[in-house]
Structure 1
Amino acid sequence: MSTRRWIPIASVALLLLPLATPSHAWNDFGHEVVARIAWQELEPEVRSRVLELFRQAPRDSLMHCLDLNQDRRRGCGRFAYRLGDAESSEDADRILFERAAYWPDLARQLEKYNRPTWHYIGWTWRQGADGSAHDTDLPVPEPNAVSQLVELARSVADTSGRPGKRAIHLAWIFHLVGDVHQPLHAASRVTERRDEREGDRGGNGFALDDWNRNLHAFWDGALDARFRARYKQRTEARFDAPSDWPPPPDQFWRFFREARDREYERHKDRVAAEARARHPLDDAVRANLKSGDFEAWTAESNRIVRNALYPPDLKRGEAPSGAYAERAYDVSLQRAALAGYRLADLLTNLLAP
């Protein structure tokens, strides 16, 4: 009979710290939660069409590196990070579906595919002394997330287009639907500070403490903040060790990477399930899908920023309060659920037989 033991992993917390590194846009965790919710809502025929397109992406896009059914041994680097292993072909399909939502951030290192201005829309606003929000007359640069979603949807719907191009554009749709539901991708606060006279770049200019970095990064990681905090504290971070612990020396780091990946997947399962449970796709939500109305989706995020993201107790150079962090999690959970439902609806409209 095998013996199961709990092994503390505080001693390898440094290995796990990549989970805590803020990224661009909603981080990989947030984008994958949105995609997980969409996956669960889609009919099998639409899933298959999505996967068929992704598997026709150009080789130089490295999208094949996200596919556990393909050879990923050479040249993948960070593109293959934290993919883990698939227990079945359906598992591999789901992982590709979810990871593709993060591909545009991975592609920042590929000059041919990097599109920095597509990730957000720079709607600027000023905050009055009483906290009230006021529009500015600053122009909104293009291309931006909203303008590109319109073009990308048109491209993916055109079945006469090149499959490789449509695959890239489909990954961008996955990503941008997530982005425009992260509030700080839809607003930029103008202040009298020299570096914020044209906006704070979606909170990137609002520095917090060393752990959170800035307000944008804080909101990027709101969905997995509790998970990352476990490793920051380096306490209670444990995994279920196999009976053959300790592993052979040449397997040691692979063992810990796999433990980290398993816990990451479990937490993603929990957050996606919580989002769906707290914000189910009921009649009221269906009526609010605003199918394909990208500007309306983004305007919702803009209103959230203007109404709630810069309260008086939020201070530069300090960590947000516990109450603020809880609100951020609750808002992000609702936005992720809605993004997942809207992504599924959009994919159905674009790709259904």
Structure 2
Amino acid sequence: MGFIQIVAGAVSGAVGSTAADQFIDFFVPPSNVSDTAVVFPAVMQETNAGRGQNTRASTNIITNGSKIVVPEGYGLLTFQDGGVTGFIAEPGAYQWNSADQNSKSVFTGGGVFSSTLQTSWERFKFGGQPGSQQLAFYVNLKEVPNNKFGTQSAIYWDDAYLNAQAGAITRGTYVIRVVDPILFVKTLVPANYITANAAQFDITQFDNPVSEQLFSEVVGSLAGAFSRYVNDPAQEHRITRIQGDSVGFAQSLASEVEKNYTWTSGRGITITQATLVAIEYDADTQALLSDVRKADALSGGRADSFLKQSIARGVESAGENGGGGTGLAMMGMGMGAIGNLVQPTPATPGVGGVAAPATAAAPDPAVQLTQYKKMLDDGLINDADFDALKKKILGL
């Protein structure tokens, strides 16, 4: 056993700082906290309602009875010597109460000997400084927006809708929220942000190493998120809808990030929203999308609409060309209702070994007008087409 040298002034310094630490303090958020700060220290209010300033208190000691304010949308984590001791999730004002000797105060029933002399003796052994560290940090429980992502080169995914591999360069933003503050602090926040005099931990800053890591993980999950979105049979998603569906894409992105990097289960954060600001498809994907759009236009109800337009154009052309059947025949409709609209030109007798057919009877104008009227009623031709055909049949 050796002797410990008593440093001059250590005893008086220990007693003086202990007495100063008996003042009840008031802790609040800092005035300059940013909207995107996720973790930041609680700060002691400098003056006691204008009745003086406690300038001799030791740093990082919270006196029992001190008040801590927790604003709406934030939680409070308390630490003792580097370890988490508690978490407050509800807004309001709370009173500090610790069994640690350094926190005891004569103003809160600790007693003179217990709160002052015993504490000063403990501090004397540590050179006049407290033998403990008590810290409080606020955690932002709101959604934290404006987290950017982007790719420098194309990402590729298997697209069931296009029935091929698709590729694009993309950029956008996502919103995160802390869902487990204790897990978040223990696994993701660097130690220098949960120590005395720590700076604000702003997860949107690119010089923040955690921000860079999260950025890389999101970018690394984009291809899988695109694939999840477009290949979900229950949702029938298409890649052309992804920019307008921020909720659906966020769900796909959050699921992919969780699968790859366990953000929620392993780190206590999750993606709540995501927006694609721009998608630049590569040349092959653009060509595929163009072909698919054309195919869509020629299927279902659209095909019927295009068919009617084609018939109308063909009938109009037939009327202008004197009733020739070429225009209608090229459409390949095979519709009995219009099969007799135009009579074929009879073959020349004796030419090419073709026998002269019997003389065809002249078409009945009343039958023709009835057929054209039905086409008008079905929307195959318009009023102008009908009037033109009627004049031609009647020789007007």
TM range, normalised to the smaller chain? under 0.3
Provide TM-score, normalisation by structure 1: 0.22
Larger Rg: 2
More helix by share: 1
The structure whose RCO (Cα within 8 Å, separation 6+) is larger is 1
Provide TM-score, normalisation by structure 2: 0.20
